[in-house]
Amino acid sequence: MLERTEARTTTGRGRLFDSVLETIGDTPVIRINNLGVDHATIYVKAEFFNPASSVKDRLAIAIIEDAERSGALKPGQTVVEATSGNTGIGLAMVCAQKGYPLVVTMADSFSVERRRLMRMLGAKVVLTPRAQKGLGMYRKAVELAEKNGWFLAHQFETAANAAIHETTTAREIVNDFAGSRLDYFVTGYGTGGTVVGVSRVLRRERPETKIILSEPANAQLLGSGHAQPREGDGAPAASHPAFEPHPIQGWTPDFIPKVLQEAIDEHYYDQIVPIAGPKAMEWTKALAQKEGIFTGISGGATFGVARQIAEAAPAGSVLLCMLPDTGERYLSTPLYESIPAEMDAAELELSLSTPGFQLPA
């Protein structure tokens, strides 16, 4: 455990920002001190430091500004996208700042907080039946775009997705580890943009870094070896046969996105490591309670895989894993089932240990 003896000071960021959108990126890399292993060092890249609290803020700004430059998105035009939540929240932030109406389609299985956050940011949220999975919400977005002449964000197919991670996320990692070891980079996947964009740079500039990709143990789309059925434009033609519902929201939709296909075709990852949902939640809670790092289930999943890799890694190894979002996005999910809202027995005992300011029985 690290201890500080000198008083803390701050100096500011050294600049003034013209809008919230300028604060996207440059997220910190943080060393793990209490949950690590003795012979290796684990760092996490904390994407919840983005202004809307997830890695998808990068994707959201990339999609909108790329479409503005190309003319695909007209001033005041409505944006529509299918999302499990984080991309929608990021898009809602970007669209609020830039003045675009936003409509999001989302399966009703995802956490209620996500709907409320998007609506708080001014978006409309159209729910689709959970039985139709990610493909259902995807096709609903396509229908709405075609019917109304809206701009479809295409997060699962757009080249802007991996490109923003190549020019920002990967550059931050390379700069942060300049002159230092980086033996393993560990990430999960949703659209695949993070792993593709970062891998393009690491394969070129840090070829010694092994890239570890993870996915839910009960939804091993890549691990199954089965190809994804696709339409001519690369869109999914059907759900992947290896998919099953899983609790790691934001990871692994029921199809392999076109963006992720590059990682498969170019052999960007060195190993695929599955992790079970309950184990992911255990690590999420451990990060909060032992490190003070508040991340979502996907962050716990990625860290759990990084911890597993670290245990078997050679002495002196350095690992970096992605933490995609914040734990506040999961309050209504099983992650919090064991976290009571009322006082437990120990807390009640503390309350009763002094005579004043007690709640009525």
- The distance of Cα 340 from the centroid of its chain, to the nearest Å, equals 26
- Of the candidates 218, 228, 214, the one whose C-alpha atom is nearest the C-alpha of residue 262 is 228
> In this predicted structure, which of 35-39, 231-235, 272-276 has the lowest mean pLDDT?
231-235
Q: Which helix (H) or strand (E) holds 130?
A: none
Q: Is 346 part of a structural domain of the chain? A: no
Domain count, the chain: 2
- Domain interval for residue 195: 20-50+168-336
Is 56 considered catalytic here? yes
- Of the candidates 101, 117, 13, 138, the one whose C-alpha atom is nearest the C-alpha of residue 57 is 117
Q: Is the per-residue pLDDT at 167 higher than 70?
A: yes
CA 123 to CA 146: how far, in whole Å? 19
Of 152, 184, 217, which residue is a domain's last?
A: 152
Torsion of CA 291, 294, 297, 299, to 10 degrees: -70
Q: Is 348 part of a structural domain of the chain? A: no
Q: Is 350 part of a structural domain of the chain? A: no
Is 140 considered catalytic here? no
Contacts of 166 (CB under 8 A, 6+ apart): 196, 197, 198, 200, 201
What CATH number does residue 64 fall under?
3.40.50.1100
DSSP structure string for 166-234: IIIIHHHHHHHTTTS---EEEE--SSSHHHHHHHHHHHHH-TTSEEEEEEETT--TTTT-PPPPB-TTS
The CA-based angle 303-318-44, given to 5 degrees, is: 35
Mean pLDDT rounded to a whole number for the chain: 96
**Joined tokens for residue 319:** 């690992």
**Joined tokens for residue 121:** 């940011």
pLDDT, tens digit, 9 for 90 and up, residues 246-268:
999 989 999 999 999 999 999 99
% helix, strand, coil for the chain, step of 5? 40, 15, 45
28 and 139 share one domain: no
Half-sphere exposure for 31 (CA within 13 Å, toward CB): 10
211 and 133 share one domain: no
Q: What is the pLDDT of residue 2?
A: 59
318 and 203 share one domain: yes
Contacts of 24 (CB under 8 A, 6+ apart): 50, 51, 57, 58, 61
**Joined tokens for residue 244:** 């099953």
Q: Is the per-residue pLDDT at 27 higher than 80?
A: yes
| Annotated catalytic residue, options 56, 133, 210, 258 | 56
pLDDT, tens digit, 9 for 90 and up, residues 271-300:
999 999 999 999 999 999 999 999 999 999
- The distance of Cα 319 from the centroid of its chain, to the nearest Å, equals 18
Q: Is the per-residue pLDDT at 152 higher than 70?
A: yes
Q: Which helix (H) or strand (E) holds 98?
A: helix 86-98
68 and 198 share one domain: no
Of 152, 185, 219, which residue is a domain's last?
A: 152
273 and 202 share one domain: yes
Q: Is the per-residue pLDDT at 361 higher than 90?
A: no
pTM: 0.95
Q: Is 138 part of a structural domain of the chain? A: yes
Q: What is the pLDDT of residue 6?
A: 84
104 and 252 share one domain: no
Q: Is 353 part of a structural domain of the chain? A: no
Q: What is the pLDDT of residue 360?
A: 87
66 and 175 share one domain: no
126 and 176 share one domain: no
Q: Is 76 part of a structural domain of the chain? A: yes
DSSP structure string for 30-74: EE--SSS-TTEEEEEEEGGGSTTSBTHHHHHHHHHHHHHHHTSS-
Percent of the chain at pLDDT > 90 equals 94
| Annotated catalytic residue, options 53, 54, 111, 298 | 298
pLDDT, tens digit, 9 for 90 and up, residues 300-353:
999 999 999 999 999 999 999 999 999 999 999 999 999 999 999 999 999 999
